[in-house]
Structure 1
Amino acid sequence: MHPLQRTVRAPFTIVIPAVAILLIVFGIPTIQLFLQSVNAPDFNLQNYYAFLGKYSNIRLLLQTLEISAVATIICLLIGYPTAYLISTASKRVRVTLIVLVVLPYLTSDLARTYSWVVILGDAGLINSALMDLGLISSPLPLIYNRMAVYLGMVHIMMPMMIMPLVSVMVSINTSLVAAAKSMGARPSTAFWRVYFPLSLPGLRSGTLLVFVICLGFYITPAALGGLGDVMLSTYIASQVATGFELGSISTSSFILLVVALVVLATFGLNPSGAQDAAAKLKNRRFGQVALLRAVKNYINEMAVSSRAKHWSIRLYRAQSNGRWSRIAGSVVLSLVIFYLLFPEIVVIVMSFSDGATLKFPPPGLSLQWYRSFFGDSAWYGAALTSIQIALAVSVLASVVGTLAAFGLNRVAPDVCSVITMAILSPITIPVIVVGVATYFGLAKLNLIGTETGIILAHTIGAISYVVVIVSATLVNFDKRLVQAAKSMKATPFKAFVRVTLPLIRPGIIGGALFAFIHSFGEVVITSFVSGFAVRTLPLKMWENIRNEIDPTVAAVASLLTLLPILWMIALYIMWWRTGARTQFAAVEQGA
């Protein structure tokens, strides 16, 4: 019994399964990817010279950086004011708005990309509406261009920009801004000098996540872009599909990975110290700047009395404009939510069309495309395969991820941070790199083209979601309850099962649902490791989008869109019942 107790008490022991899966499927293959790119054991840079020696490759890399940067900037310009408006809303309205933002994020990227194909296509919603109104005589080129790529990428990444900002903005003490205004600061000055610096952690996290993930975008540029909008991820995927030059594939993948790691290492650190040092160096080198600043401060001192005289006027004028500010804020929020939800709504409505082609609004209502889905063994067979794989991934990731989160909660903060970053790497680096590395790892295990290989490939990302959600649940967990159970002669294992597990059950179930959604909608990694032998629903859907726009795809996309809604309802009911039981227990104890 003593060895078992020591095993349970050792935090690193229960983290080992998650780390082992990560290393076998992704970690070690990534190292092998690097060794392959430098021609080990000879160790030379010939592959890198060959890649950088081609103008087309350099242009492709720069184009990838450009598209990712522009998409990130657009997300930031729209996401920051949206997050600010959400954080300043009442609690009930804020929860509703967060749910409306999260729902598109939980929807499959493939389904959201398809919705833009339906809207922007030559026979899509916009062109059909303009032609019906007689405004145009031929379809406008709205798709297969850079603007369509930006529309799709921003639509997919916007929730990832908004949520980190909201999480930080909600914790900002707004009384600091009010205090700045009470001291005579203009609203804009109070915002830029007080509020904005406090929101920088969320801004930095959201910007880094969006940019790094955009680097690995593959489905959206391939479906919405033209030949001039190819990204490096598309080039890597074509290399894997058309040939098997390990040196070229590994070099391209590792270059993209290095770009992502450099960006994370450069901007992921706290930039405040560097900025202060740069400002001091600039002041030492340019004394004129300091002189002009002193003159400006002196003029401001002279103008204090004038500003004080008109301070109350400006204050009340700002209050009178509050109504128009609220109206403008409501309009901005409505437009952003409309942008996030409308594409999915269009696809759902069009999936009930009774016409031979998709049209919005549909000429009549029918379930023909749903009957086509359930009547075609290729479609519902792929759906059953996806469900089986997603269930297996959900169970495996929930068990391993929960143990890892519980173990990380008991180790030193520095060690916990390092291991957590490693576990989260599959969902924070470009997905195309994860797909290539996973392909190499599973090929060594002879698991390419098997359901077991796909389950392992999906599990490394699913574990990340489970660890994040369960760890957040453990933050509010009172460890004294476990100590009390042990004082009553309960073994560590029994204390975990009877005390810890019931209290963190909502987090475990939430993590399992996220793991299921992640696996069920995954297409990029699956396309690498399926080996044309296993066909999941997203793969079937992706092939259909690329080869023939079958209206049955609209029914599939609507089902993928409704799936997270069902999960959200299930989570709400579960947490509501948990809260009700807690309140009932509290009433009984009080009685």
Structure 2
Amino acid sequence: MNILLTKRWIRGIIVAGPLVLLLLGFLVIPLSFILWGSVEGTKLNFAHYASIISNETNLRILLHTLKIGLIVTVVSLVAGYPVAYLLTRIRPRTLSIVTVFILIPLFTAFLIRTYAWIIILGREGIINNTLVRLGIVSEPLPLLNTTFAVVIGMTHVFIPMAIFTMFSSMVRIDHDFARAAQILGAKPIQAFLRVYFPMSLPGVFSAGILIFIVAIGFYITPALLGGPSDTMISQLIVTQMTTLLNFELSDASSIVLLLVTIATLFLASLFIPLEMIWSPSIADLSNRPPGVRSRALKWAKRVLDPLLVAIETLIHVMTKPLLTRKSRWLWAYTIVFLVFLTAPLIVVVVLSFSSSSFVVFPPPGFSLRWWESLANATDWQASFLFSTKLGLTSALLATIIGTMGAFWLVRTTLPIKRALFLFSLSPLMVPVVIVATSLYVFEARIHVLGSFLGLVLGHVLLSVPYVIVVMAAALRGFDETLERAAAVHGARPMQVLRLVTLPILKPALVTAGLLAFLTSFDELLVSIFLLGRQTPTLPMKFWGDIKFQVNPLLSTASTFIVALVIVSILTVQWIRVRHENRISTSASK
């Protein structure tokens, strides 16, 4: 084995093989199946595409999807930017604390967060009860099953994603540039708008593209919080596939959504490297030659400069009392923002101890009856154990395949290295509803549909890109001279990997594994299409109960999962801090 590993091309095949086979076999080929099915094979019938455009209902759903995606994107960016900016200015210990409060909602299942908003926005929900008691309204407002509910719910889902995407880019900007501008006579708002903000635009643009392409393919929140007029294209695809059995129109709708996603990514590639959307630390903008982005910015600057000066003056007058070095207003905004992120989860936790048989907030009394019910609910226990088994299996395989792929992508010398990296992230670029439907068709053809193997492969496909992003970033900061030094002293390739490389990469491996596990544990659509007659996963159990009955037992199960998420995040943070302290101690010696 060690002799084989000394040959670069053999090592490359061994390391890259599993990733390439996974992507080709369970993404590219399944997508080609639905493309072929959308035109009815050799008939080359494009009538299904024409019906999407000509049919008023289908066209309205497509346009509504794009509108909701755009609204959610803009709201998430505007609301998240001040928080991301503050994170770049605070001390590491404070940063860790604030980050935990953002990570907890980020890694909490979409279904749990959506369930919380059902409680808050319902006819007998917290908002309506408060308004009625205060005498502001005489009867409950129709908040649930509206576009407003969809936007609020999706914004709550995507804001943490926007913050971390912008922060990972903004943290590399030196605040001394803006300070230098103020020393030279610029007003604080001028220094920010003309110096810092333009430098942060690539990160903002990356976050916007990421949110938009995920939002237009989102399924859970629109399905639970929206009404019939708020149907999005992901719901249309699922309905056509599972209820109407119109597979050709479902395939055509999937391809249309995929083309919209590709067009969005193509336009984004004119302004930023696409890999920056998912991994800003890997993209290097400084080596990118000036192109469309620089020309567009110069043109915009010339045209909008008079308007910008007027806006700067107005904002300066309005915000002068707020622009202090201690950033009190930023802290006040961030605290309100963190309340918005965590309050729905707090509501769910409180309801898990309710003495009522119904979802009533505040609870009429304290009781552990629902915890006892959960402990005795064999169906919930079976779903939890199956989801844990599925998540651990998927996370293990995804971590192995993704880590091997990251080694190959970072250390390969092929000229198409950037294209290969983008290809490895392609499962993140394709909307999950398309991945789910294409795998459904493909696995039915190869007779693994409904099996545990088929389900695991679908979850691994979605988890691997997160592992690659984490491990590629870690490997780029890895000192390869340590491996060479071990080899010089007689260590074989496998010994170098086991005794030197992997121990140093341990925090990244743990983080990647946790991301892969949570991705699998939270996945709904792929499970709906690939599960078959197996035990329902926990998200599917949630999905069924939320659609047909809402009771405090759901809150109890949600609280249990939130507690597991908190423990996982704190454990990873502890491992990271311990590893950093050990490295700093070793360096000081």
Same fold (TM over 0.5): yes
Equivalent AA in structure 2 for residue 26 of structure 1: L
Aligned 8 A contact 1:352 1:365 in 2: yes
Match of 2:416 in 1: 415
Aligned 8 A contact 1:122 1:141 in 2: yes
Aligned 8 A contact 2:427 2:461 in 1: yes
Distance, in Å, in 2 between the alignment partners of 1:61 and 1:521 is 26
- Which has the larger displacement, 551-560 or 209-218? 551-560
Distance, in Å, in 2 between the alignment partners of 1:502 and 1:556 is 36
Distance, in Å, in 1 between the alignment partners of 2:57 and 2:458 is 32
- Which has the larger displacement, 122-131 or 510-519? 122-131
Q: Does 1:241 align with 2:235?
A: no
Distance, in Å, in 2 between the alignment partners of 1:8 and 1:353 is 62
Aligned 8 A contact 1:449 1:534 in 2: no
After superposition, residues 15-54 of structure 1 pair within 5 angstroms as 15-54=16-55
Deviation at 1:64, TM superposition (A): 0.5
Deviation at 1:583, TM superposition (A): 5.1
Q: Does 1:273 align with 2:291?
A: yes
Distance 1:99 1:252, change over 3 A: same
Distance 1:360 1:407, change over 3 A: same
Equivalent AA in structure 2 for residue 241 of structure 1: T
How many pairs does the alignment contain?
A: 565
Match of 1:305 in 2: none
Equivalent AA in structure 2 for residue 117 of structure 1: I
Distance, in Å, in 2 between the alignment partners of 1:504 and 1:20 is 25
Distance, in Å, in 2 between the alignment partners of 1:70 and 1:322 is 29
Distance, in Å, in 2 between the alignment partners of 1:543 and 1:492 is 50
Match of 1:3 in 2: 4
Distance, in Å, in 1 between the alignment partners of 2:398 and 2:352 is 33
Equivalent AA in structure 1 for residue 292 of structure 2: A
Distance 1:318 1:524, change over 3 A: closer
Distance, in Å, in 1 between the alignment partners of 2:322 and 2:345 is 36
Q: Does 1:450 align with 2:457?
A: no
Deviation at 1:282, TM superposition (A): 10
After superposition, residues 571-590 of structure 1 pair within 5 angstroms as 571-582=572-583, 585=586, 590=589
Aligned 8 A contact 2:403 2:467 in 1: yes
Q: Does 1:112 align with 2:113?
A: yes
Match of 1:126 in 2: 127
Match of 2:481 in 1: 480
Equivalent AA in structure 1 for residue 515 of structure 2: F
Distance, in Å, in 2 between the alignment partners of 1:322 and 1:250 is 53
After superposition, residues 148-159 of structure 1 pair within 5 angstroms as 148-159=149-160
String of CA shifts for 1:483-509, please: whole Å, max 9, x gaps: 111112222222111111111111111
String of CA shifts for 1:330-388, please: whole Å, max 9, x gaps: 22111111111110111011111111112222222222112212212111111111111
Aligned 8 A contact 2:5 2:11 in 1: no
Distance, in Å, in 2 between the alignment partners of 1:77 and 1:510 is 29
Match of 2:207 in 1: 206
Equivalent AA in structure 2 for residue 525 of structure 1: V
Deviation at 1:532, TM superposition (A): 4.8
After superposition, residues 346-357 of structure 1 pair within 5 angstroms as 346-357=347-358
Distance 1:280 1:558, change over 3 A: closer
- Which has the larger displacement, 567-576 or 264-273? 264-273
Aligned 8 A contact 1:8 1:14 in 2: no
Deviation at 1:73, TM superposition (A): 0.9
Q: Does 1:469 align with 2:470?
A: yes
Equivalent AA in structure 2 for residue 174 of structure 1: H
Aligned CA RMSD, in angstroms, stands at 2.8
Aligned 8 A contact 2:4 2:11 in 1: no
Aligned 8 A contact 2:359 2:550 in 1: no
Q: Does 1:440 align with 2:458?
A: no
Distance, in Å, in 2 between the alignment partners of 1:280 and 1:465 is 36
Equivalent AA in structure 2 for residue 273 of structure 1: G
Q: Aligned with 1:148: secondary structure?
A: helix
Match of 1:142 in 2: 143
Distance 1:63 1:413, change over 3 A: farther
Structure 2: runs of 5 or more not aligned = 273-289, 310-315
Q: Does 1:535 align with 2:536?
A: yes
Aligned 8 A contact 2:353 2:368 in 1: yes
Aligned 8 A contact 1:424 1:461 in 2: no
Match of 2:549 in 1: 548
Deviation at 1:139, TM superposition (A): 2.4
Higher-Rg member (1/2) = 1
Distance, in Å, in 2 between the alignment partners of 1:413 and 1:161 is 32
Identity of aligned residues (%): 33
Deviation at 1:149, TM superposition (A): 0.4
- Which has the larger displacement, 261-270 or 417-426? 417-426
Distance, in Å, in 1 between the alignment partners of 2:490 and 2:414 is 29
Distance 1:365 1:324, change over 3 A: farther
Q: TM-score, normalising length from structure 2?
A: 0.90
Distance 1:18 1:123, change over 3 A: same
Equivalent AA in structure 1 for residue 99 of structure 2: I
Match of 1:303 in 2: none
- Which has the larger displacement, 265-274 or 78-87? 265-274
Q: Aligned with 1:20: secondary structure?
A: helix
Deviation at 1:273, TM superposition (A): 2.7
String of CA shifts for 1:58-85, please: whole Å, max 9, x gaps: 1111010001101111111111122112
Deviation at 1:197, TM superposition (A): 1.3
Distance, in Å, in 2 between the alignment partners of 1:236 and 1:349 is 36
- Which has the larger displacement, 523-532 or 89-98? 89-98
Q: Aligned with 2:51: secondary structure?
A: helix
Match of 1:494 in 2: 495
Q: Aligned with 2:270: secondary structure?
A: coil
String of CA shifts for 1:284-336, please: whole Å, max 9, x gaps: xxxxx99x99xx8xxx9xxxxxxxxxxxxxx9x99875449833212211111
String of CA shifts for 1:116-155, please: whole Å, max 9, x gaps: 0111112222223334445544322111101000110000
Deviation at 1:534, TM superposition (A): 3.5
Distance, in Å, in 2 between the alignment partners of 1:367 and 1:147 is 34
Q: TM-score, normalising length from structure 1?
A: 0.89
Match of 1:264 in 2: 265
- Which has the larger displacement, 255-264 or 27-36? 27-36
String of CA shifts for 1:455-498, please: whole Å, max 9, x gaps: 11110111111111112221221100111111122222221111
Aligned 8 A contact 1:208 1:268 in 2: no
Deviation at 1:33, TM superposition (A): 1.5
